[in-house]
C-alpha cells in the first residue's frame, strides 16, 4: 500500500490520458474533533461561487458550457443552483448538532454516580479481543483479526471489486481519446501491380500488302508502384501527397511507339477543403472533445465508486461494532438470567411454584436462543465487511472473525447547510458528470448546426510528370521539362428542404434540454442527500443523549433492585421476575445507545459522501499515472 501526506488536488480530475490509482495516507486521528472542525474546513465555497468551483474541478468544462449554451440555458442553470440553496442561505451562521437538554431532577442526581452506573450491565469493553463469537462451520473457534476503521478503508480502496471495475472503465476511456486523436495521424499508403494485355485491334490497309495497326499500344505490359502520405487536419482539410512510378513496354512491329520501353514517373498533390459543412475545429474536433469528456466522466465514476465503497465499508464496520455489542448484551443476559433461575430453583421447596420456575427456565432458554441469533448476525456482518474490503488475507469464505477496536465518536458536528450544499454542487461526482453531459450535448448542437449548411468543398490538385526510356532519366525530366497538370474545382450539394439536417439540429437541442434537466435532477439529488444526512446526524446525536439517559435510568433501577435484594428478608418469585424484566431493560438500553452511536457516525460518513469530500476526509489521494495494459 502506498502512503502520502498530500490532500488530493481536484485539478487532477481534468487531466487526460491518465488512470486514477487511489492511495490512502496514514490513519487520521479518530478523535471527536475530526467531525466537529473539518466540516467547516471542507466547505469550499459559498453558493454564490459554487459554479466557479465546479468549473475548476471540471478543467474548463464550465467555460465551454457558457460559450456554447445560449443565455436562456445559462439562466436556467443559475436559477437551479439558487433555488436549491435558497433555504440554506437563510439558515445563518454554522451551528452544531444539539442533544436534548434533560432537566429531570433524577437525571441530574445520577450524574454524581455516573461511573458506578456505567459499570453496571453489559460492558462495551467486553466486545474486544477474546469475545466468544460461537463456533464456525467447522466447529472450531474462529481466528480473531484486529481491525481499525482506517485499515478497513485502506483495504477497500486497494482491493474493492467495484473500484477496480471503475478504474478499468476509466482506462478504457483513455483508449477512446487516443482513437479520436488518431484520426489526424498521417497515413502512409502504397499500392502496385502488373498488367499484361493483348487485345485484338483492327488494322489499316496501306496497299501493296502493307497494313498499319490502328492502336499500336494494344499489346502491352505495364507495371506500376504508387506510395504517398495522406494527412487530415482539424479544419476538415485533407492533403494527399504521392509519387507514382510506371514502366510500360509495347509490342510494336512497326516500331511506331517511342520510347519503347518507357518509364512514366509523377509527383502528385491533392487538397480537399470543406468551406461550409464540416468546416472548422468545432466540428472536426467534436469526437475528441466528447472522448475527453468521457474520460473525465469515467474519472468521476472512479471517485463515485470510491465514495460508495468507503462509506459502505465504514457503515459495515459500525454494523460489526453493534453486532459485537449485541452479542455481549445477549451473553450478559444469559449469565444473569441463569443466576436468577438458580435462585428460583433453590426456593422451589419454599415459595416458588412450578409455573414460576418454568417461566424462569423459559426466559433463560429464550436468552440462550438470542445468543445464537446474535452470533449468527455478527458473522453475517463480518462476512459483508470482508466482501467490501476484498482483502486477500481475509477471504469471505475464511473462518476469521473481525475485532473492531475503534469506537464511534459522540461529539457534536459543526456544520453550515449553505456551505454543505455548495460543496456538494461543486464536488459531487454525479453533479460533475451531469455537467459534462451538458457540454457533450452542446457539442452535439454545434455539430448539428453546422450540418444544416450546404456542402461546398474546394478541391485542388497538381502533378509533375517525366517520361523517358531510362528510369533515372524519367525522374530527371520532372525538374527539367514543363510537364505539369493542375486542376481546381468545387462541389456543391444541398438537399431541397434540408429536412434531415433540420431534424438532427432539433434533436440535438432537445438532447441538450434533456441534459439540463438531468443536471437539475443531479443537483437536487445531491442537495437532498446532504440534507438527509444532516438530519440523520442531528437526530442520531439527539438519540445518543436520549439513549444514554435511558441507560443510566435503567442502571439506576438495577442498582436500586440490588440494594433491595440485600435488605429484604426473602426473595419472592415476584421480585425475581421483576429482576428479569429490569435486566432486559438495561440490556436493551445498552444496545440502543450503541446503535445511536453507530448511526451518528454512519450519518456523518454519508454526509461527506454526499458532499463528495469523503476521500479527503479519509486522506485518500487519487494519483494520476499512465495506464499500461496488462499482459
Rounded Cα distance, 226 and 245, in Å: 6
Average pLDDT score, the chain: 79
| Whole-number pLDDT of residue 360 | 85
Residue-wise pLDDT for 160-206, tens only, equals 888 888 888 888 888 888 988 899 999 999 999 988 887 776 666 66
Distances (CA, A) of 446 to 292, 436, 510: 17, 15, 13
- At 99, is the pLDDT very low, low, confident or very high (cuts 50, 70, 90)? low
DSSP per-residue codes, 330-386 = HHHHHHHHHHHHHHHHHTTTTT--HHHHHHHHHHHHHHHHHHHHHHHHHHHHHHHHH
Residue-wise pLDDT for 145-158, tens only, equals 999 999 999 999 88
Lowest mean pLDDT among 40-54, 227-241, 352-366: 40-54
- At 341, is the pLDDT very low, low, confident or very high (cuts 50, 70, 90)? confident
| Whole-number pLDDT of residue 107 | 65
Lowest mean pLDDT among 225-234, 396-405, 616-625: 616-625
| Whole-number pLDDT of residue 308 | 92
| Whole-number pLDDT of residue 20 | 54
Specify the pairing of strand 187-198 against strand 414-415. unpaired
Burial of 555 (0-12, 13-18, 19+ CB in 10 A): buried
Determine the 3-state secondary structure of 229 from DSSP.
Answer: strand
Where, residue-wise, is CATH 1.20.1600.10 in the chain? 10-30+51-179+285-443+504-625
More confidently predicted of 167 and 231: 231
Residue-wise pLDDT for 480-508, tens only, equals 667 888 999 999 999 999 999 999 999 99
Mean pLDDT of 49-64: 36
User: Percent of the chain, pLDDT > 70?
Assistant: 77
10-30+51-179+285-443+504-625: which CATH architecture? Up-down Bundle (1.20)
User: Percent of the chain, pLDDT > 90?
Assistant: 38
Query: What backbone torsions phi and psi does residue 482 show, to the nearest 5 degrees?
Result: -100, 60
Whether the pLDDT of residue 37 is over 90: the answer is no
Lowest mean pLDDT among 16-20, 295-299, 438-442, 467-471: 16-20
Where do we find the cell 457540454? 439
Whether the pLDDT of residue 13 is over 50: the answer is no
- What top-level class would CATH report for the domain 187-281+454-502? mainly beta
- At 239, is the pLDDT very low, low, confident or very high (cuts 50, 70, 90)? very high
Mean pLDDT of 218-231: 87
Amino acid at each position: 500500500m502506498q502512503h502520502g501526506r498530500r490532500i488530493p488536488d481536484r485539478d487532477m480530475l481534468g487531466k487526460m490520458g491518465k488512470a486514477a490509482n487511489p492511495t490512502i495516507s496514514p490513519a487520521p486521528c479518530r478523535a471527536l474533533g475530526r467531525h466537529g472542525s473539518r466540516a467547516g474546513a471542507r466547505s469550499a465555497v459559498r453558493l454564490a461561487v459554487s459554479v466557479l468551483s465546479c468549473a475548476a474541478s471540471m478543467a474548463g468544462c464550465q467555460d465551454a458550457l457558457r460559450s456554447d449554451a445560449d443565455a436562456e440555458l445559462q439562466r436556467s442553470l443559475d436559477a437551479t443552483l439558487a433555488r436549491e440553496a435558497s433555504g440554506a442561505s437563510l439558515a445563518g451562521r454554522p451551528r452544531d448538532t444539539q442533544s436534548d437538554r434533560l432537566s429531570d431532577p433524577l437525571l441530574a442526581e445520577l450524574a454524581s454516580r455516573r461511573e458506578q452506573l456505567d459499570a453496571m450491565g453489559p460492558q462495551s469493553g467486553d466486545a474486544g479481543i477474546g469475545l466468544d463469537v460461537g463456533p464456525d462451520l467447522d466447529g472450531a473457534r474462529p481466528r480473531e483479526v484486529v481491525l481499525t476503521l482506517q485499515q478497513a478503508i485502506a483495504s477497500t480502496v486497494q482491493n474493492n471489486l467495484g473500484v477496480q471495475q471503475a478504474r478499468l472503465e476509466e482506462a478504457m476511456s483513455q483508449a477512446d481519446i487516443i482513437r479520436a486523436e488518431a484520426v489526424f495521424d498521417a497515413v502512409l499508403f502504397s499500392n502496385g501491380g502488373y498488367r499484361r494485355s493483348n487485345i485484338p485491334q483492327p488494322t489499316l490497309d496501306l496497299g501493296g500488302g502493307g497494313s498499319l495497326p490502328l492502336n499500336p499500344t494494344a499489346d502491352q505490359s505495364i507495371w506500376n508502384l504508387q506510395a504517398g502520405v495522406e494527412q487530415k487536419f482539424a479544419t476538415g482539410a485533407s492533403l494527399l501527397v504521392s509519387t507514382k512510378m510506371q514502366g510500360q513496354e509495347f509490342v510494336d512491329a512497326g516500331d511506331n511507339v517511342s520510347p519503347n520501353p518507357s518509364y512514366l514517373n509523377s509527383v502528385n498533390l491533392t487538397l480537399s477543403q470543406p468551406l461550409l459543412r464540416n468546416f472548422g475545429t468545432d466540428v472536426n474536433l467534436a469526437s475528441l472533445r466528447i472522448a475527453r469528456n468521457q474520460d473525465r466522466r469515467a474519472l468521476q465514476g472512479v471517485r463515485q465508486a470510491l465514495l460508495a465503497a468507503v462509506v459502505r465499508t465504514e457503515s459495515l464496520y459500525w454494523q460489526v461494532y453493534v453486532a459485537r455489542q449485541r452479542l455481549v448484551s445477549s451473553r450478559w443476559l444469559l449469565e444473569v438470567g441463569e443466576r436468577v433461575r438458580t435462585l428460583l430453583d433453590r426456593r422451589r421447596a419454599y415459595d416458588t411454584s412450578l409455573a414460576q420456575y418454568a417461566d424462569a427456565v423459559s426466559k433463560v432458554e429464550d436468552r440462550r436462543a438470542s445468543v445464537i441469533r446474535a452470533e449468527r448476525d455478527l458473522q453475517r456482518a463480518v462476512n459483508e465487511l470482508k466482501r467490501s474490503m476484498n482483502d486477500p488475507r481475509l477471504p469471505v469464505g475464511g473462518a476469521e472473525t473481525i475485532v473492531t477496536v475503534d469506537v464511534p465518536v459522540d461529539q457534536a458536528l459543526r456544520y453550515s447547510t449553505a456551505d454543505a450544499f455548495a460543496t456538494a454542487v461543486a464536488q459531487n461526482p454525479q453533479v460533475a458528470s451531469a455537467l459534462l453531459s451538458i457540454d457533450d450535448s452542446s457539442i452535439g448542437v454545434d455539430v448539428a448546426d453546422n450540418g444544416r449548411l450546404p456542402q461546398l468543398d474546394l478541391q485542388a490538385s497538381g502533378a509533375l510528370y517525366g517520361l523517358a526510356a531510362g528510369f533515372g532519366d524519367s525522374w530527371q525530366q520532372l525538374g527539367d521539362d514543363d510537364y505539369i497538370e493542375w486542376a481546381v474545382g468545387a462541389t456543391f450539394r444541398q438537399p431541397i428542404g434540408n429536412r434531415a439536417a433540420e431534424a438532427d439540429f432539433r434533436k440535438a437541442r432537445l438532447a441538450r434540454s434533456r441534459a439540463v434537466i438531468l443536471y437539475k435532477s443531479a443537483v437536487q439529488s445531491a442537495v437532498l442527500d446532504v440534507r438527509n444526512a444532516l438530519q440523520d446526524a442531528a437526530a442520531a446525536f439527539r438519540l445518543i443523549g436520549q439513549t444514554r439517559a435511558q441507560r443510566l435510568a435503567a442502571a439506576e433501577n438495577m442498582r436500586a433492585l440490588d440494594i433491595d435484594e440485600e435488605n429484604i428478608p426473602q426473595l419472592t418469585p415476584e421480585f425475581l421476575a421483576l429482576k428479569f424484566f429490569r435486566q432486559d431493560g438495561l440490556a436493551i438500553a445498552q444496545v440502543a445507545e450503541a446503535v445511536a452511536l453507530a448511526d451518528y457516525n454512519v450519518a456523518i460518513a454519508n454526509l461527506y459522501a454526499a458532499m463528495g469530500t469523503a476521500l479527503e476526509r479519509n486522506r485518500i489521494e487519487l494519483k494520476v499515472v499512465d495506464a499500461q495494459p496488462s499482459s
